[in-house]
Structure 1
Amino acid sequence: MASSSDTPPLLFDRALLRQRRTRAARGYEEFAFLASRAADDLADRLMAVNRTFERALVIGGAGAVGRAIAARPELASKIGTLIEADISPAMAAKASGAALVMDEERLPIADESVDLVLSCLSLHWTNDLVGALIQINRALKPDGFFACAMLGGATLTELRQSLMAAEDEIYGQVSARVSPFADTVDLAGLLARAGFAMPVSDVDRVTVRYGNAFVLMRDLRRMGETSVLASRPRTPVHRQFFVKTAQIYSERFAEADGRIPAKFEILHAAGWAPHESQPKPLRPGSAKVRLADALGVKEMGAGEKAG
């Protein structure tokens, strides 16, 4: 039996996440600019993959990935069956084709049953990211392709700081009110830990300007991206708290025209399910050409100084 130390900490309330996404489903398209941007980027990256995919699974995005693929006929012709999934039934229903309600923490997909998995702004809410990636890897056929977009560590830093400062000033304490996100430097390493071959990652930074913090918080609510931290404060706060948050946000971060920036960091990563045909790194010491010769420079021994 696994010990408690083997169990990942419960960071997020997944039942609450489902409720929040269901609440946001009505009118979601008006506030889905981040999901649409991430979906377009995923589709553009997939265009560069010279491969056809018999069966593809999309996790998250509320139909945005399906629409991005359909808008690229060349890409759409490379994909046979496309299934779009979400933890919220109302969000899954936004798929243009086949839809599936599921929780990526307990992926209900048979091993080696899909050729392609795409995840759009979903994995940052998983309690065990590596565990979810391992399940995705198992679901892929050998040499299957995986790509994801998720929110990264620099997302909403201004809001995070303003909330903390307001709470400290009013209540004399600080609570976690904005989700912790993964760092871009870790994401390729996490894919490697999950067994993916040739993992890569990069980052897309987006700044959205708002009239005030209240409009920003409204947009986050309508996106279904408000905090679902399991350790979130449960005591209701007075409206004064949010007024103070908006005041601090404006004082610290407002630009010359009075508008405030909200920074979002979208992490992209991709990798392949292992297959024997994939390139393998050479064994240490097996090189047949000296680095100095390849660079056209003189080789120097240890301790020698350059002239």
Structure 2
Amino acid sequence: MSQGPIIFDRHLLRARRARARKLGPATFLVDRVADDLAERLAAVLRSFDVGIDLGTPTDAVRRAAAAGGKVGTLIAVEPDVVSQGKGFLRVAADEEALPFADASLDLVVSALSLQTVNDLPGTLIQIRRALRPDGLFLAALIGGDSLSELREAFAQAESEIEGGLSPRVAPFADLRDLGGLLQRAGFALPVADSDRLTVRYDNAFGLMRDLRAMGATNVLTERRRAPLKRATLLRMAQIYAERFADSDGRLRATFEIAWLSGWAPHESQQKPLKPGSATVRLADALGTKELPTGDKPGD
């Protein structure tokens, strides 16, 4: 388990997700990500015998991957095995402590789960070790620019009403940092990119209802334990409507989806050329004239 800072209360996270399943989950975001993940997987020119779906809170990724026919067996790995659907193998395990032997998997996918791992570098290292050579890791996380409107509205409201700020929205990782973590974990051909999804609501309370139904409300260990003041909540909603409404009065909420992919190293993979090994001059490739250092065009 992680020995570093404990940012997220993962016991509370599981309880919030269980509550969402019981009340009727809002799945539009994970469904969208699952479809996109299946498209990315379909573009890979190979199939995978054994893989895991790590922590995805629904069966959406498993269904999408099964429909694509690229994966022989895809096992659901969940902190608590729940009966979300039939037809999938399930293993009870935490994303921070994987029970798989080194070089035992061909594929690891994950959708909207790893952003709440306390030791993400450690988890990525475990994933890379569990992959066979030339095995693929493909995941979608909530990115750092997500819910920027809600952050701003809450920060202003708390400053006005309560005279200070408290952690309300998780500090999701920046895309550049995520790319660096892939390299540190030892992945070959690492790629990090992002998509943005704008969802519109009649008011800020609609957004908060959806976050509750996703099991995505505040699980920060440093969260304020006192109940949110009604005056603060109402002021937040007012600020949100003033600053982030479209011309028709509906409010915008931004979700950034950070995509990560990388391969377990294998001798068949492309490798960068050594410095000085080029056989063609850059000026020739660009069809231009090379100027000596210090010369200016037109001299």
**TM-score for both structures, normalised by structure 2:** 0.94
Aligned partner of 1:3 in structure 2 is: none
Partner of 1:10: 6
**Is residue 139 from structure 1 mapped to residue 134 from structure 2 by the alignment?**
no
Equivalent pair of 2:65/2:71 in contact (CA under 8 Å): no
Secondary structure of residue in 2 paired with 1:26: helix
CA contact (8 A) 1:123 1:129 kept: yes
Q: For residue 207 of structure 2, what is the aligned residue in structure 1?
A: 216
Distance in 2, Cα, partners of 1:8 & 1:301:
51
The question of 1:228 aligning with 2:223 is answered no
**By how many angstroms is 1:259 displaced?**
1.2
Equivalent residue runs for 1:1-307 within 5 Å: 7-29=3-25, 31-59=26-54, 60-70=56-66, 72=67, 75-76=68-69, 78-90=70-82, 93-94=84-85, 96-307=87-298
Sequence identity percentage: 55
**Aligned structure 1 segments of 4 or more residues deviating by more than 6 angstroms:** none
**CA 1:194–1:154: 2 relative to 1, 3 Å:** same
- Cα deviation per residue 1:220-273 (whole Å; 9 max; x = unaligned)? 011011121010001122222212211111122122222111110001111100
State how far apart, in whole Å, the 2-side matches of 1:129 and 1:106 are.
11
Unaligned runs of 5+ in 1: 1-5
- Count of aligned residue pairs for this structure pair: 296
CA contact (8 A) 1:67 1:96 kept: no
For residues 104-152 of structure 1, what are the alpha-carbon distances to aligned partners after superposition, in whole Å with 9 as ceiling and x for unaligned? 1111111111100001000100112111111110111111001000110
Partner AA of 1:270 in structure 2 = S
- Give the whole-Å Cα distance in 2 for the aligned partners of 1:109 and 1:23: 29
- 1:188 deviates by 2.0
State the SS of the aligned residue for 2:96. Answer: helix
1:68 Cα deviation (Å)?
A: 1.3
Deviates most, 125-134 or 286-295: 286-295
Residues 241 and 182 (structure 1 numbering): CA distance in 2 closer, same or farther, change over 3 Å?
same
Shift in Å, 1:94? 3.8
**Structure 2, unaligned runs of 5 or more:** none
Q: Which has the higher helix share?
A: 1
State the shift of 1:100 in Å.
2.0
What letter corresponds to residue 16 of structure 2 in structure 1?
R
**Hey, what's the Cα distance between the residues in 1 that align with 2:139 and 2:5?**
23
Q: CA deviation at 1:289?
A: 1.8
Moved more, 42-51 or 249-258: 249-258
- How far apart, CA to CA, are the structure 1 residues paired with 2:10 and 2:165? 24
2:41 alignment partner AA: L
Superimposed CA distance per residue, residues 29-59 of structure 1 (whole angstroms, 9 cap, x where no aligned partner)? 5x10110111111100000111121101001
**Would the alpha carbon gap of residues 293 and 245 (structure 1) be closer, same or farther in structure 2, given more than 3 Å must change?**
same
User: Quick check: 1:39–1:61 contact (8 Å CA) kept in 2?
Assistant: no
Q: Does the 8 Å contact 2:135/2:264 carry over to 1?
A: yes
Q: State the SS of the aligned residue for 1:204.
A: strand
Amino acid at match of 1:281: P
Conserved? CA contact 2:81–2:90, under 8 Å:
no
Contact 1:213 1:260 in 2 (8 A): yes
Provide the aligned C-alpha RMSD in A: 1.6
Structure 2 vs 1, CA of residues 115 and 98 (structure 1 numbering), >3 Å: closer, same or farther? same
Task: Provide the C-alpha distance between the structure 2 equivalents of 1:146 and 1:27, rounded to a whole number of angstroms.
Answer: 32
